[in-house]
């Protein structure tokens, strides 16, 4: 694994066109060594194109990708692990045999490959499918197999494009545990996902792109601090009194509870609501990453 003071993954001014359509438009961001970084955006935003450029599958029209200060094209592929959005495993070969073969291509000995593959098969409860052809596996089990192939050689950089697709909640937890373990071991993680809740739990920094351009980029704490709109949830002892809309924008009501965005400061809002009726509970929460994402894509962020 790279030392903590080494340079991480540096994506600089990437541009990619397809027949006149600008898919990636001057995109730059940095993934710190040993960090977990979320690459976000709506469908067609350019996320997968960026990932394919990083992996050397596509060439950029302009810009550069470096890792530890070197162009990524000069580095050994075994230092990277890649889970593509579309599954690409050999369908008519046996699961365990295929995973061991792919692990050996990444430099592991047969005994190392077999041991690690068996451990992951057991962890994902795939041991009963070890001798079955991959085409007989469900979509979720094929996704787990593809993930094992991406990380079995313990790469320095792990690039995951929609890793949670097709997985049930239990296997999503297993996947998150392994991603966290990889990062704890020093791996640098680049994660693209539509599941904002998963990104919020796993990633320390994000880049949100829309229509090929960067909309937001930075640490998750900074992004949420800069773009969160404080919302409050207030529960009254009886029914919701008239006049709450003077203090809360777009109030949402449920029984004796109302939630909405602050129109004024926190202290005057609390006092104003208490003047309207007896307040039993007053909660303040910041916007979720999903709420920030939706507002950014709709053009509502300043």
Q: What is the pLDDT of residues 174-213, one digit of tens each?
A: 999 999 999 999 999 999 988 888 899 999 999 999 999 9
**Predicted confidence (pLDDT) per residue in 98-118, tens digit:** 999 999 999 999 999 999 999
Size (the chain), residues: 302
Q: Give the separation between CA 294 and CA 298, rounded to whole angstroms.
A: 6
- The predicted pLDDT at position 180 comes to 96
Read off the tokens for 67.
């890792």
Tokens 């050689």 sit on residue = 153
**For the residues 230-245, what does the mean pLDDT come to?**
90
Domain borders along the chain are: 9-225, 229-285
Q: Give the separation between CA 79 and CA 214, rounded to whole angstroms.
A: 27
pLDDT band at 251 (very low <50, low <70, confident <90, very high): confident
**Predicted confidence (pLDDT) per residue in 75-99, tens digit:** 888 999 999 988 788 889 999 999 9
**Predicted confidence (pLDDT) per residue in 16-48, tens digit:** 999 989 999 999 999 999 999 999 998 889 999
pLDDT band at 229 (very low <50, low <70, confident <90, very high): low
Query: Looking at the predicted structure, is the pLDDT value of residue 227 above 80?
Result: no
Residues with Cβ within 8 Å of residue 146, at least 6 apart in sequence: 83, 84, 87, 88, 89
| Whole-prediction pTM | 0.81
Burial of 22 (0-12, 13-18, 19+ CB in 10 A): middle
Q: Give percent of the chain with pLDDT exceeding 90.
A: 73
Query: Looking at the predicted structure, is the pLDDT value of residue 300 above 90?
Result: no
CATH 3.30.413.10 correct for 9-225: no
| Selected residue with higher pLDDT from 226 and 11 | 11
**For the residues 62-79, what does the mean pLDDT come to?**
90
- The predicted pLDDT at position 6 comes to 52
Q: Give percent of the chain with pLDDT exceeding 70.
A: 96
First to last CA, the chain: 39
253 in Cβ contact with 245 (< 8 Å): no
177 in Cβ contact with 147 (< 8 Å): no
Q: What is the 3-state secondary structure (H, E, C) of the chain?
A: CCCCCCCCEEEEEEEEEECCEEEEEEEEEEECCCCEEEEECCCCCCHHHHHHHHCCCCCCCEEEEEECCEEHHHCCHHHEEEECCCCCCCCCCEHHHHHHHHHHHCCCCHHHHHHHHHHHHHHCCCHHHCCCEHHHCCHHHHHHHHHHHHHCCCCCEEEEECCCCCCCHHHHHHHHHHHHHHHHCCCEEEEECCCHHHHHHHCCEEEEEECCEEEEEEEHHHHHHHHCCCEEEEEECCCCCCCHHHCEEEEEEECCEEEEEECCCHHHHHHHHHHHCCEEEEEEECCCHHHHHHHHHCCCCC
- Sheet containing 70-71: which strands, arranged edge to edge? 21-31, 9-18, 62-67, 70-71
pLDDT band at 2 (very low <50, low <70, confident <90, very high): very low
């Amino acid at each position: 694994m790279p030392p903590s003071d080494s340079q991480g993954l540096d994506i600089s001014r990437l541009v990619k066109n397809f027949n006149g359509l600008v898919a990636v438009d001057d995109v730059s961001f940095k993934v710190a060594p040993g960090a977990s970084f979320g690459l976000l955006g709506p469908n067609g935003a350019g996320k997968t194109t960026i990932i394919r450029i990083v992996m050397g599958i596509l060439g950029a029209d302009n810009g550069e990708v470096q890792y530890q200060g070197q162009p990524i094209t000069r580095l050994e592929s075994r230092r990277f692990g890649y889970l593509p959005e579309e599954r690409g495993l050999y369908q008519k070969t046996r699961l365990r045999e295929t995973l061991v073969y792919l692990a050996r291509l990444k430099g592991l000995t047969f005994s190392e490959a077999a041991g690690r593959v068996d451990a992951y098969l057991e962890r994902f409860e795939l041991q009963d499918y070890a001798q079955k052809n991959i085409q007989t596996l469900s979509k979720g089990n094929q996704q787990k197999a593809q993930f094992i192939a991406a990380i079995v050689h313990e790469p320095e950089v792990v690039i995951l494009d929609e890793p949670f697709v097709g997985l049930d909640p239990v296997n999503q937890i297993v996947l998150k545990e392994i991603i966290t373990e990889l990062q704890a071991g020093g791996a640098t993680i680049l994660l693209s996902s539509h599941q904002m809740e998963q990104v919020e739990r796993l990633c320390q920094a994000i880049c949100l792109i829309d229509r090929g351009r960067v909309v937001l980029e930075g640490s998750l704490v900074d992004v949420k601090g800069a773009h969160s709109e404080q919302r409050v949830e207030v529960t009254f002892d009886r029914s919701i009194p008239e006049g709450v809309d003077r203090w809360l924008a777009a109030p949402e009501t449920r029984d004796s509870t109302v939630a909405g965005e602050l129109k004024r400061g926190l202290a005057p809002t609390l006092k104003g609501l208490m003047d309207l009726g007896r307040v039993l509970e007053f909660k303040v929460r910041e916007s979720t990453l999903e709420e920030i994402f939706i507002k950014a894509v709709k053009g509502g962020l300043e």
